[in-house]
């Protein structure tokens, strides 16, 4: 028997029970590779969210029969346990309440129906969701390449803390209200965060898409800069290894800032270090990603000594006497820059990439240095405020996102 969580003292009136003793049915779903526009809705693993809700936007329709609906149809109060998924996602759970038409479920789910006199479906769904957040299912699942699964016997062998039905009803009601309030707060914070992110783009657009900018002289970026790509993390150094130095990866390069919270170290030769060592004012641009992230990057301010970079990052070293690194960075990040990269990118299996030739041909607007400097001063102030707002709202959203787990922990410890 697999305890979940580990046995501990429970409040008065609670007891530990085996899950298999308080559910009357644990039914697996069915696989179907066919599609039928007139068929029945079939829920698959991507239709249950991390928050324990249903996402109907991508539900598929499959051929149906009376036997299929009788065997796999969902009823109000059914608990859907996601038995097969990635290790991170296996075990997501949602409570089915009702839908406007019949719904069935795939073999990625186990449908649980509770013993009515012992266990409320809503209480079970919330408890399973709490176990998923605690990563219990990641610990007990069987793992294969590309997917993991929680076997039926392991699921039913779990032990859960069980109060009387009246207490289950009270706890479920309190959780429903508080989780709904959290969801409203999350939705508001996400909207504010998106607005803060859009503000930076709006500031850049007012400069680089303006009538004034259209009159600025334009030159190829490659004619004003040295462009170099880095080295692969797993490569074998050509020559004797000199020492270990900081190594920037694509994950460290964000749109407009660097995330240096997790910087790798790499063994490099003196020749590699000399060639790739970053200098203050160097631009760092990623070569690929989603279409809207092409050319993502910022400029280096010598935050780490002797730092070098990955082969999927371009280092652009401009002539500081004629082009401000910050001005060029803002320009590349703007809608003007993103439109160029999107138009010239190579699309491969959903990933867009730019090569060094495309980057070198970028039409860099180069107004007089004094105008560049005044533009940088203005934009820096605006973007700094927008970034501060983005960070503050991001922290607020992280706090909100942590609330459901805390609420569920308290609920199933008898503290509500």
Q: Which CATH class is domain 217-366?
A: alpha beta
3-class SS of residue 281: coil
- CATH architecture of the domain covering 15-163: Alpha-Beta Complex (3.90)
Three-state SS letters, 9-65? CCCCCCEEEEHHHCEEEEEECCCCCCCCCCCEEEECHHHECCCCCECCCCCEEECCC
Neighbours of 179 (CB within 10 A): 19
The mean pLDDT value of the chain amounts to 91
Decide if 283 contacts 289 (C-beta within 8 A): no
Decide if 247 contacts 312 (C-beta within 8 A): no
Share of the chain above pLDDT 90, in %: 70
Residue 269 pLDDT level (bands cut at 50, 70, 90): confident
* Residue-range domain boundaries for the chain: 15-163, 172-197+368-416, 217-366
pLDDT at 268: 86
pLDDT at 84: 97
pLDDT at 254: 86
3-class SS of residue 354: coil
d(CA 23, CA 109): 16
Residue 155 has pLDDT above 50, yes or no: yes
Q: Are strands 264-268 and 243-248 parallel, antiparallel or unpaired?
A: antiparallel
Tally of helices (H runs) and strands (E runs) in the chain: 11, 24
Residue 234 has pLDDT above 80, yes or no: no
3-class SS of residue 294: coil
Residue 5 has pLDDT above 60, yes or no: no
Taking residues 363-391, report their average pLDDT: 93
pLDDT at 250: 87
CA 156 to chain centre: 31
d(CA 28, CA 375): 62
Residue 350 pLDDT level (bands cut at 50, 70, 90): low
Q: Do domains 15-163 and 217-366 have the same CATH topology?
A: yes
- Using CA atoms, how far residue 116 sits from 10, 83, 113, in Å, is 22, 23, 9
Residue 383 has pLDDT above 60, yes or no: yes
d(CA 10, CA 163): 9
pLDDT at 156: 97
Residue 7 has pLDDT above 70, yes or no: no
d(CA 108, CA 114): 20
pLDDT digits (tens, 9 = 90+) for 63-117: 999 999 999 999 999 999 999 999 999 999 999 998 999 999 999 999 999 999 9
Residue 1 pLDDT level (bands cut at 50, 70, 90): very low
């Amino acid at each position: 028997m697999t305890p979940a969580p580990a046995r501990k003292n429970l409040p008065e009136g609670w007891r530990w029970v085996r899950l298999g003793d308080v559910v009357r049915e644990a039914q697996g779903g069915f696989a179907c590779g066919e599609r039928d526009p007139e068929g029945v809705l079939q829920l698959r693993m991507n239709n249950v969210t991390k928050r324990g809700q249903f996402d109907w936007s991508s539900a598929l329709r499959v051929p149906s029969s009376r036997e299929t609906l009788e065997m796999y149809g969902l009823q109000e109060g059914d608990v859907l346990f996601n038995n097969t998924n990635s290790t991170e996602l296996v075990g997501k759970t949602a409570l089915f309440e009702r839908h406007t038409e019949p719904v069935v479920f795939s073999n990625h789910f186990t449908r649980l129906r509770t013993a009515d006199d012992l266990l409320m479906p809503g209480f079970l769904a919330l408890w399973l969701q709490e176990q998923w957040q605690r990563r219990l299912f990641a610990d007990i699942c069987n793992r294969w390449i590309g997917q993991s699964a929680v076997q039926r016997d392991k699921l039913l062998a779990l032990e859960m803390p069980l109060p009387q039905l009246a207490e289950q009803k009270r706890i479920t009601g309190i959780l429903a209200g508080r989780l709904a309030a959290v969801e409203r707060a999350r939705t508001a914070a996400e909207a504010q965060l998106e607005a803060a992110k859009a503000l930076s783009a709006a500031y850049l657009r007012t400069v680089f898409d303006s009538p004034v900018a259209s009159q600025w002289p334009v030159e190829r970026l490659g004619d004003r800069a040295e462009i170099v790509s880095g080295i692969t993390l797993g490569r074998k150094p050509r020559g004797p290894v000199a020492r270990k130095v900081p190594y920037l990866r694509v994950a460290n390069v964000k749109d407009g800032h660097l995330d240096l919270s997790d910087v790798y170290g790499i063994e490099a030769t003196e020749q590699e270090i000399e060639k790739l060592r970053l200098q203050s004012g160097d631009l760092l641009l990623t070569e690929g990603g989603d279409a809207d992230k092409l050319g993502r990057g910022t400029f280096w301010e010598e935050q780490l000594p002797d730092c070098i970079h990955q082969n999927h990052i371009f280092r652009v070293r401009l002539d500081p006497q004629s082009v401000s690194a910050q001005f060029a960075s803002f320009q590349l990040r703007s809608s003007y820059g993103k439109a160029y990269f999107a138009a010239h990118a190579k699309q491969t299996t959903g990933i867009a990439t730019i090569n060094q030739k495309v980057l070198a041909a970028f039409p860099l607007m180069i107004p007089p240095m004094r105008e560049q400097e005044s533009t940088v001063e203005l934009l820096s102030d605006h973007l700094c405020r927008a970034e501060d707002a983005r960070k503050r709202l991001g922290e607020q959203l992280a706090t909100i996102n942590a609330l459901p787990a805390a609420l569920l922990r308290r609920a199933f410890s008898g503290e509500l």
